[in-house]
Amino acid sequence: MPRAEHNISRKDISASAIKVMYRLHKSGYQAYLVGGGVRDLLLGLSPKDFDIVTDAKPEEVKKLFHNCRLIGRRFRLAHIMFGREIIEVATMRGHHDEEKGGHISKRDASGMIVRDNVYGSIEEDAERRDFSINALYYNIADYSILDFANGVNAISKRRIEMIGDPAARYREDPVRMLRAVRFATKLDMTIEPATAEPIYELADTLGAIPPARLFDEMCKLLLAGKAEQNFDMLREFGLFDVLFPELGEFLNNEASEQDLDFIRGALRNTDSRVNSDQSVTPAFIYAALLWPMVEAKARELGTESELSEQDAFQVAASETLDRQQQRTAVPKRFTLMSRDIWTLQFRLPKRGGKRAERLSTHPKIRAGFDFLLLRSEVYGGELVELANWWQRFLTSTGDKRSAMLRDVSGPKRSNRRRRPRRKPQTKTAAPKSDS
């Protein structure tokens, strides 16, 4: 597609990406903006990243840019840094039946690619892309677009289509199933039947993906403004049960409608914050997803043992987080914050004396209160009055705050100890004299 036939302009592309492509081109290499950047620009969206593909090897790219570092073992990539912006440059990939230039590819017994340093031509690189909407290349040499897999047509029909045999491509990299879901919700597209059908059968293959990579993918699914839609689609395909095995079983067999409403409410709240450019954290999402199940486990523990309500909850929380870590490796800073949010749910009802004042300065009080507010909206009861009280307290100062504290603390008691009353001494009559 020559420049006159498409809507992509250089002014819509990151200046840093333009600089990288021009330097590669002037040094005798091919250079293309590729994948999501081209796709989003054609859709009239603002790309989050601008990735580049070239026929230059990673070491050759590094020689051209002093601000470049090479990363990756599975597939070597060049990261070129412009302050906080990183432009990712990949060398065109080839087919795995051809070992080129001493670079080796490797698959495991299931067909999953575990090493991918095979370089090739732009045609081979396009065949290696996952979906047709991502096999689009913007050529800096003449500003044309190369479309190898009818990606422009797929964009116009708003369809997610796998390049090649979908089942084989999912086995190569099971994370592609999560990407299909994410692109469908992000771009408001449908997954065409041949691409969707194998997901039901191959969902379990996600279990072979390293937990750290699955956590990264979950963040993309849950923190990009489409969390509720992704939650529904993951459950529909059976992917959620692989990512959250215990929680999936709980939702399928034990959870109440209120429990599901609570999780959906948290996801909806997160979507609202993302779409209004407010900060979000995986800690709040994980705390909300796991809360109904952990609370149910704690109740069961409490009836079977002599543990207090809070101790039973702490045991249930530890067991659940430890098991979930085996599937999605949540960094410790997030699990600690999730626990803080949960612990605050037990502390917020205790407002007497100086407790409320001390809690108001807790570093996670805002997240803990938001969690309480969400619980009150779904489960109701005494939580409504408690959430309303904290909302007033956290927004009040001075005399008003002091009055609220007096109301929940009751009459002030004196700390002075009373002296015991002495018993009155009885006077004894003086003995009479004999004289």
Residues recognised as catalytic: 49, 51, 130
Distance CA 85, CA 82 (A): 5
Beta pairing class for 159-160 and 190-191: parallel
- Residue 272 CB partners (closer than 8 Å, separation 6+): none
Q: Where are the beta strands (DSSP E) in 212-354?
A: none
The 3-state DSSP class for residue 102 equals coil
Tokens 């015991």 appear where? Answer: 420
325, 210 contact by CB (below 8 A):
no
CA distances from 209 to 113, 173, 206, 230, 368 (A): 11, 9, 6, 19, 33
231, burial (CB in 10 Å: exposed 0-12, middle 13-18, buried 19+): buried
Distance CA 361, CA 369 (A): 12
The DSSP 8-state label assigned to residue 354 in this structure reads T
405, 357 contact by CB (below 8 A):
yes
Distance CA 426, CA 435 (A): 27
CA 10 to chain centre: 32
- Residue 250 CB partners (closer than 8 Å, separation 6+): 292, 293, 296
Helix (H) or strand (E) holding 259: helix 257-275
Distance CA 137, CA 30 (A): 11
Distance CA 57, CA 162 (A): 27
Distance CA 267, CA 288 (A): 8
86, burial (CB in 10 Å: exposed 0-12, middle 13-18, buried 19+): middle
Distance CA 321, CA 282 (A): 14
CA 360 to chain centre: 27
